[in-house]
Amino acid sequence: MTTPTQDPGLAPGYHPHEADEVRGSSLGELMKQVTSDLSTLVRQEVELAKAEIRQEGKKAGKAAGFFGGAGLGGYMVALFLSLALWAGLSNVMDGGWAALIVAVLWGAIAAVLYSMGRKNAEHIRGLTQTNATVQRIPDALKPHSEGVTR
């Protein structure tokens, strides 16, 4: 079996019969083919993005489940340590006062955590860049009359 010879100056994958097809096509046919190819490419990219999002979503869901379990475990530890502190303080004072001291400690911890969360929430910008970019897309796709000569 013989392989076709190729001029070493031509790009790999270049086939002369494809160039003949392009030369024999009208501008309208070429634009139709480019539009069709672009549409196919966009559809394929969207499908790829959907598949990636689904895959990453499954991973994120699994991770969230583990974090939820860890949170429940941490809550149980805090609960039982609080009960142990309450019981320990009950040995040296009235049980009501011991419970109040434990509650005040948890109130202080909650206030500090709330303050830290509020400061961090102020730094969240959201999707401002993405929203701005998406709003500019339609203008970029509209035909503009500047620079067009008839």
96, part of any domain: yes
56, part of any domain: yes
Beta-carbon contacts of 98 under 8 Å, excluding residues fewer than 6 positions away, are 85, 86, 87, 88, 89, 90
- When divided into structural domains, the chain yields a total of 1
Give 78's pLDDT tier (boundaries 50, 70, 90). Answer: very high
Residue 101 confidence (pLDDT) above 70:
yes
Query: Which domain, by its residues, includes 72?
Result: 20-139
Cβ-defined contacts of 58-65 (< 8 Å, 24+): none
Residue 77 confidence (pLDDT) above 80:
yes
Q: How far apart are CA 54 and CA 38, in angstroms?
A: 24
13, part of any domain: no
Residue 111 confidence (pLDDT) above 80:
yes
pLDDT of residue 132: 65
95, part of any domain: yes
149, part of any domain: no
7, part of any domain: no
14, part of any domain: no
pLDDT of residue 131: 64
55, part of any domain: yes
